[in-house]
A and B are shown apart, each in its own frame.
Chain A
């Protein structure tokens, strides 16, 4: 996994609440056995008409948002299924950060496994960033994970919280299976104890 580094990018405003994983990546694209190449299908049914032509009104099709690296979203972004194809599609499109007041649990976890940072902020701060995002390429946002800060183009600084372990993994691009395997002794000890206490499992 690539290390998450400080960057400055365009933020796309997506104020709709409850943007679900079927919207982010419809089921017909789940038939792949790969992780790559899904960016072109991100938000497929909002982004393209039934014939596959771009819908010019959809935010990521507008000239000023085609290179977006950040999404500022309405409440409960990523609700629905566990499909990791959703963060795969967003990451493949080039999205590194999603900001919202809330995220669905599984989507939230899936982001971190793919080098993406979901940021939870209070409503007033999301509103502020949404207004910034509306300005398109004229108002790029900087995201600094190390210092847990978003800086707007006029210098406004917004701090955010992030789980310390998840931050560590993102900043260092760590594979958490490898980290867990370092705790092999604990897992084996647990298994030995469980074989005694719950032998039917």
Chain B
């Protein structure tokens, strides 16, 4: 048999039909659904009299729109948001899919709920009408975002029309220095490849530094594969994966666990597998990083300075000029002198328990800077409960952070959590696009520990100075 990559193996195990031109029907094992990208898809089913083919493989949870303040289970002020959440309530009920409403402690960001509940398992195909579906690749599952028409397609047929992507290997060798986290890895990779560097590829992240990450960290890395343009990011499952999955509500049990484990252990790229593109980065060379511009590729070590447009080539010169203008930054300014007024810790990138622990470790016994608006939005109700049990919630609250309910919140600012024009935020989320966190708002992406450090000092800060 010819050698295969992990992606090849998962792909081959899910082809339900292949046409002569290579167009495949890929079978979908798990379909995650949220309130923003699904209403039109369910409406399409109604109009055509179609059913959900596999409701038992379909999991819905409201996350994008929901307020993160108390009382939301009885009333959502914003009428349009309320209508969308109510539509999901109704669609989940009418079509009989699994559902976690806001009143359920298991509710949270769809990409945190899926793994937490054991819906996401190695070797699966996972899709969702959300680009950060890439997160689930951390389990060695082929996971990617789809549009609403494709959501409808999957609901109706449990398949997707796909052509295979190319294979790209991103190896992070060695070990990470203190203060360097999974977020720094994933941003550093995008800094290296650019936001279109992964277009047409599925990335497999490997190497000692990746192996050393927890599942939470691996999810952070894969989450931002999409920011590098890749269809999906993957990490081969190993003992860390199996340990995380075992015992979760929807993970296999007993004999099925053993059977699953046997197959999962075959899910790795063969030694002589062929790669279309390979990138290698030394773990030791990665520093804590921040973004300075309005694209996730605008990333530099915190020790760096704001670049000049002339430092770039081609279309990026004008883009950098526009970004500097939008961000109100001058070339040559040290990144560690950029003052911020808002800190957001949360999102499907960094809203898991390990992220909250990392931030709390920096905040313990400290206060946020006077006038700072800082909020923590746990990724799920269960993450929130665990953080409260561990005393982490108290550390945040004592430091001056707002302690919110679970949801996407200020990552995309569809709910009331938004930046005002000119406000500048240190955010653990995944996109620093113009207006992403609110019209005129300015976003610097960084790790949870770096966000905590910034909350304390009032400016972008090298977390290693506070460790």
| A interface, CB within 8 angstroms of B | 15-18, 20, 22-23, 26-28, 30-35, 45, 50, 74-76, 79-84, 87, 102-106, 109-110, 113-114, 163-165, 176-177, 180-181, 183, 186-187, 189-191, 194, 197-201
Contact = CB atoms under 8 A, between A and B. Distances in A.
Interface in B140-176: 144-150, 152-153, 156-159, 161, 163
B440 A113 contact: no
A125 B266 CA distance: 46
A27 B153 contact: no
Q: State the main secondary structure of chain B at its contact with A.
A: loop
Interface residues of B, number: 81
B124 A27 contact: no
A104 B121 contact: no
Contact of A79 (B124, B195, B421): B195
Contact of A183 (B25, B80, B130): B25
A23 B83 CA distance: 24
Contacts of A45: 434-435, 439
B185 to A, nearest CB: 20
Given A31-B414, A33-B39, A50-B421, A187 B433 contact: no
A129 B322 CA distance: 23
Contacts of A27: 412-414, 436
Given A17-B319, A26-B439, A32-B80, A110 B149 contact: yes
Interface in B1-54: 13, 16-17, 19, 21, 23, 25, 27, 29, 36-37, 39-40, 43, 48, 50, 53
B87 interface: yes
B145 A82 contact: yes
B385 interface: no
Nearest to B315: A17
Contact of A200 (B40, B252, B318): B252
Contact of A176 (B16, B153, B319): B153
Contacts of A15: 315, 318
Contacts of A75: 196, 314-315
B431 A80 contact: yes
Contact of A74 (B121, B229, B263, B315): B315
Contacts of B319: 16-18, 74
Contacts of A181: 156-157
Contacts of B439: 26, 45, 50
A82 B43 CA distance: 19
B81 interface: yes
Contacts of A81: 130-131, 145, 412, 431
A190 B27 contact: yes
Given A33-B40, A84-B147, A84-B148, A176 B315 contact: no
B97 to A, nearest CB: 16
Given A23-B434, A82-B131, A201-B124, A187 B27 contact: yes
A83 B37 contact: yes
A114 B248 CA distance: 39
A22 B431 contact: yes
Given A31-B84, A33-B43, A74-B315, A80 B157 contact: no
A106 B146 contact: yes
A200 B440 contact: no
B315 A105 contact: no
Contact of B229 (A76, A199, A200): A76
Contacts of A26: 435, 439
B62 interface: no
A22 B434 contact: yes
B410 to A, nearest CB: 11
Nearest to B261: A200
B434 A187 contact: no
14 contacts: A16-B319, A17-B314, A18-B196, A22-B431, A33-B43, A75-B196, A80-B131, A81-B130, A87-B147, A104-B199, A177-B157, A180-B159, A187-B159, A198-B260
Interface of B: 13, 16-17, 19, 21, 23, 25, 27, 29, 36-37, 39-40, 43, 48, 50, 53, 57, 64-65, 78, 80-81, 83-84, 87, 121, 123-124, 129-131, 133, 144-150, 152-153, 156-159, 161, 163, 195-196, 199-200, 226, 229-231, 252, 256-257, 259-260, 263, 295, 297, 314-316, 318-319, 322, 412-414, 421, 431, 433-436, 439-440
Nearest to A201: B29
A31 B80 contact: yes
6 A-B pairs with least C-beta separation: A113-B149, A200-B252, A31-B80, A190-B16, A110-B147, A84-B147
A114 B229 contact: no
A110 B152 CA distance: 12
Contact of A22 (B121, B146, B435): B435
B204 to A, nearest CB: 17
Contacts of A177: 48, 50, 152-153, 156-157
B87 A33 contact: yes
B437 to A, nearest CB: 10
Among A34, A50, A81, A176, which residue has the most Cβ atoms of chain B within 10 A? A81
Nearest to B23: A165
Contacts of B414: 27-28, 30-31
Given A79-B229, A180-B159, A187-B27, A200 B196 contact: no
Nearest to A169: B161
A165 B21 contact: yes
Nearest to B125: A201
A161 B115 CA distance: 39
A45 B421 CA distance: 12
Given A105-B200, A177-B152, A187-B158, A35 B40 contact: yes
Contacts of B53: 187
Contacts of B13: 197-198
